[in-house]
Amino acid sequence: MPKPERAAERAEHTQAGRPLYRDPEAPVDARVHDLLARMSLREKVGQLNQRMYGWDAYRRTSDGGYELTDALYAETDRFEGLGA
């Protein structure tokens, strides 16, 4: 029985050596097929589990920037990560 190919081995590359899914000139169907072939099952499931955290996930810092809140860290711990 032949060994199953890894997704990355089945994935296509453009002439420039970059992955086909990153080639804006390639047809969308081909790009989608290439990207899905590269993704693990966990990554695909993660795409289905994208959560919207909203403004509770961020807080403004004194210098005008943003930082992540403990609420976001608790949520990512609870769901074993953030999306994929």
Q: What is the pLDDT of residues 13-56, one digit of tens each?
A: 666 688 999 999 999 999 999 999 999 998 888 788 777 677 88
Q: Does the residue 43 lie in any domain?
A: no
Q: How many domains does the chain have?
A: 2
Amino acid at position 44, single letter: K
Q: Does the residue 57 lie in any domain?
A: yes
Domain assignment of residue 82, given as a range: 51-84
Amino acid at position 40, single letter: S
Return the pLDDT at 34. 96
Q: Are residues 2 and 33 in the same domain?
A: yes
Burial 23-56 (b: 16+ CB within 10 A, else e): beebeeeebeebeebbbeeeeeebeeeeeeeeee
d(CA 31, CA 71): 36
Q: Does the residue 28 lie in any domain?
A: yes
**Could you tell me the pTM of the whole model?**
0.54
d(CA 44, CA 48): 7
